[in-house]
Structure 1
Amino acid sequence: MTHTIKLLVVEDSVMTTKIIRHLCLKTGGIDARYASSRAEAISILDSEQNEFFAALVDLNLPDAPDGEVVELCLSRKIPTIVLTGSFSEERRERLLATGIVDYVIKEGRYSYNYALRLVKRLKANEGIKVMIADDSKTARHYLRDLLKRHRYEVVEAENGAEAIRQLMAHTDTRILIADYNMPQIDGFQLTQLLRDKYEKTDLVILGLSGEGQSSLSAKFIKNGANDFLRKPFNQEEFYCRMMNCVETLELVEQLRDSLRRDSATGLWNANHFRELATELLETNEAAEHVKPISIAVFEIDDFDKINADYGRDAADRVLRTVGEIVGEALSRFYACRQMGPTFAAALPGIDAARCVTLFDGIIARVNNHDIEIDGHKLNVALTGGVSDATGLSLDKHLEQAERRLQNARTEGGNYMTAG
């Protein structure tokens, strides 16, 4: 589920505000409030109780010529991205020392696109766990502060051995930042050990070192690290490397997800559903206390007639609509399109009676959702069957649910039965 990001924009340039407003609307997912002065910003912050996820602010305003609005947002613990019309090394160092997320030089539309992309990146980072493995407490705290500034979740380990233990405890860790020079297991050895278990697309490893050997970066990368940084490093380079690593992970995950999805409905495809449901049933059977699991099979009624009467585009629209309704209603469970107009679902923790009740609601929503085709309103119906017996394989569950579906169809259809 996508959450709207609440953004405070403080900018006195009408043209710049107009560009940012347009890009926010185009980008989507951002609810922006606009102020042209520090006084207006204070009024908005007070009236909306500081409920802002981030702020995009001009460094120099008529009533805040020396970055006072930046101090205002930081004092209210709002992640802040600074807009500035000029650049110097002295200004850069001063800005980064304040604890801002980043600064953007006003050089055109791309700059503002980057700023908004960064705002969305901050939101996405909240679900990404990063582990820091470094025997220096000072170094760990410095890295932790940088990562927290960009909203990552952080876990720390003071050596390679502890990093392995922490990874076992925090199995959802996506990125490991490993210093080379650590006792027990150094960063290089740690990388070699972890690559026996984790692919580079499952756990990103970023090597760090203050050692003088120029070959160390190549040694790290050749043995499994995704990237390498030499200490001391530039903050901005660190953030850019992190962003590249994360975006690569996300692209791989999107690709994997697309291969598991049915293109017509957005639900799982039949092969991935079979993997999920089989594992679910086997895990449940091996558990000390077996819980109910319902397996449902359901179909769109008269789908062939819809295809014949209205054409393939209309049939595809019906599939997409049903997929959206089923996907939303069964978001906690597993649902797939098997083939044609036939769907299946696995509902752990739900017995057959509760499953039928749940599907009554889904069928009612489908019935009440008029799909307009060439000026005609098309009413769609679903018919299905449920199996919740224990000790059955997935194929046996599907066969039983299919028989019950056919029984329901014989009796007129447009309902779900468990018997």
Structure 2
Amino acid sequence: MKKVLIVEDSTMVMRIIKHVVKQSAVFTPLYAETLAEAKALIDTNPDIFAAMVDLSLPDAPDGEIVDYTLSLKIPTLVLTASFDTERRNILLAKGIVDYVTKEGRFSYVYACNLIHRLIKNENVHVLVVDDSSMSRKIVVNMMRLHRYPVLEAKNGIEAIKVLLNNPKIKMLITDYNMPEMDGFELVQKLRVKYVKSELVIIGISSEGDGHLTARFIKAGANDFIKKPFNHEEFFCRITHNVEQVEMIEQIRDATRRDYHTGIYNRYYFFEKGYEDWLAAQGNNTPVALAVIDLDNFRLVNEKFGNDAGDVVMQHVATRLDQSLDRFLVARTDGQEFYVLMVGLTNDKACSLLEHVNSVISNASVDWNGSKIAVSFSAGVANYSAQNGSEQCDEGGFDELVINAYQCLHRAKDAGGDMIIGDGGVADDVQE
């Protein structure tokens, strides 16, 4: 986890902060009560991610610690006992992340949530579009202050090119008045390809009135912010839009997960698996599909109870997901799992699953003093459009699953605890 320096000389306030931080558990706190202690911690922890500091300390009564952490380019959140507009403006001009007044427990919750937001922001790529280099620089610097990775474009046409070449971009902030393609037209074109939950678009402008805001929103923008920006309002609006999309992604991901083990479910496997298989066929890439079945799982439930069976199922799911993390792994029905291994021939897929089975077998599950041995059997099938054995349609993917089941039945009939492939149908495909 990221390390965060927290500097506060008040015993009562520190106690509250520690309680809030302990509940969130999203970063590793390093506590100090003075500037001297903070410097010592920084010297021994050069990888500090951010700092939450009190403005007035016994050995730094005038905010010297803020200058110190900022000089080391550590994102800094300031805690203060009272609100002072002039001092706030001075601190914001220096480049602090935010300015939080210590007015109650929620203030510290807000501060900790903001640190968590900075951590998550590192994975939210942003594109800023503005023909004015000065205006663009202001927005870029503000976003980087909150740890967003930022790309830039001078107009709408350039923005589309940058966006297509950088699929990780999750947010686009665009000015309205630009040459070649203005912000309003850019929003219209992007909404043909990207829905609001895929790409957050925020319009900005110093021109116009409420009608411009309405036009942007009706064209498909998630939000509109008028220049000049108020620091707090700007980031509250940005954060609100990012978190809204993240919430939608969490809900969508939950529908794809098996409620019991947390790995993907059958429905998502067939949705995503077919897409990956189809792409592999187009690229002439070998694909292996495995159907895995736990050996003697019914006996585990009968001897140790259903609760033990649940623990065994979760144990196997976790091991499979970790060992095969670069492939698509899903729990389908009961004690069965599917794995789609793009890029592997039959021989290689079987060898990999033999290794995984060995790892799982050597790590028995502890249950009330007893050790439950676990192993699995698997059937592996391969197909490739190149060898003429299959057409690129859903029926072809379903037949791949059927063939894997046939191999699984052979493994079970042979006594279990083994991996059987379909004879390497895809071995003729060049890797």
Query: Which category describes the TM-score, using the shorter chain as reference length?
Result: over 0.9
Listed one character per residue, the Cα deviations across residues 287-342 of structure 1 (whole Å, up to 9, x for unaligned) are 2xx33322111111222333344444333332222111111111111011121111
Letter in 1 for 2:33: S
Partner residue, 1:71: 67
Partner residue, 1:29: 26
Partner residue, 1:57: 53
User: Displacement, 1:29?
Assistant: 2.9
Equivalent positions of 1:254-293 (< 5 A) are 254-287=250-283, 290-293=284-287
User: Displacement, 1:251?
Assistant: 0.6
Question: CA separation in 2, counterparts of 1:350 and 1:14?
Answer: 59
SS for the counterpart of 2:322 is: helix
Structure 1, unaligned runs of 5 or more: none
Partner residue, 1:151: 147
Picking from 410, 414, 417, the partner of 1:411 is: 414
Greater alpha carbon shift after TM alignment, 375-384 vs 102-111: 375-384
What TM-score comes out, normalization by structure 1 length?
0.94
Pairing 1:103–2:99 present? yes
User: Displacement, 1:362?
Assistant: 2.3
Equivalent positions of 1:125-140 (< 5 A) are 125-140=121-136
Picking from 286, 289, 304, the partner of 1:295 is: 289
Greater alpha carbon shift after TM alignment, 338-347 vs 25-34: 25-34
Question: CA separation in 2, counterparts of 1:242 and 1:171?
Answer: 20
Greater alpha carbon shift after TM alignment, 292-301 vs 390-399: 390-399
Question: CA separation in 2, counterparts of 1:212 and 1:351?
Answer: 61
Partner residue, 1:165: 161
SS for the counterpart of 1:350 is: coil
User: Displacement, 1:349?
Assistant: 2.0
Partner residue, 1:188: 184
Listed one character per residue, the Cα deviations across residues 218-267 of structure 1 (whole Å, up to 9, x for unaligned) are 22212211111111120111111111111011111111111111112222
Pairing 1:44–2:38 present? no
Letter in 2 for 1:174: K
Aligned residues, how many?
413
SS for the counterpart of 1:196 is: helix
Q: Is the 8 A contact 1:265 1:322 kept in 2?
A: no
Question: CA separation in 1, counterparts of 2:372 and 2:242?
Answer: 44
Partner residue, 1:398: 401
Structure 2, unaligned runs of 5 or more: 391-395, 424-431
User: Displacement, 1:201?
Assistant: 1.1
Letter in 1 for 2:14: T
SS for the counterpart of 2:20 is: helix
SS for the counterpart of 1:397 is: helix
Greater alpha carbon shift after TM alignment, 102-111 vs 246-255: 102-111
User: Displacement, 1:21?
Assistant: 2.1
Partner residue, 1:378: 372
What stretches of structure 1 move > 6 A for 4+ residues in a row? none
- Root-mean-square deviation (Å): 1.8
Identity score, percent? 43
Picking from 216, 222, 229, the partner of 1:233 is: 229
Listed one character per residue, the Cα deviations across residues 329-379 of structure 1 (whole Å, up to 9, x for unaligned) are 111110111211111101122223332332233223332333344554322
Question: CA separation in 2, counterparts of 1:209 and 1:313?
Answer: 59
What TM-score comes out, normalization by structure 2 length?
0.91
Letter in 1 for 2:291: V
Letter in 1 for 2:122: E
User: Displacement, 1:217?
Assistant: 1.3
Question: CA separation in 2, counterparts of 1:21 and 1:350?
Answer: 49
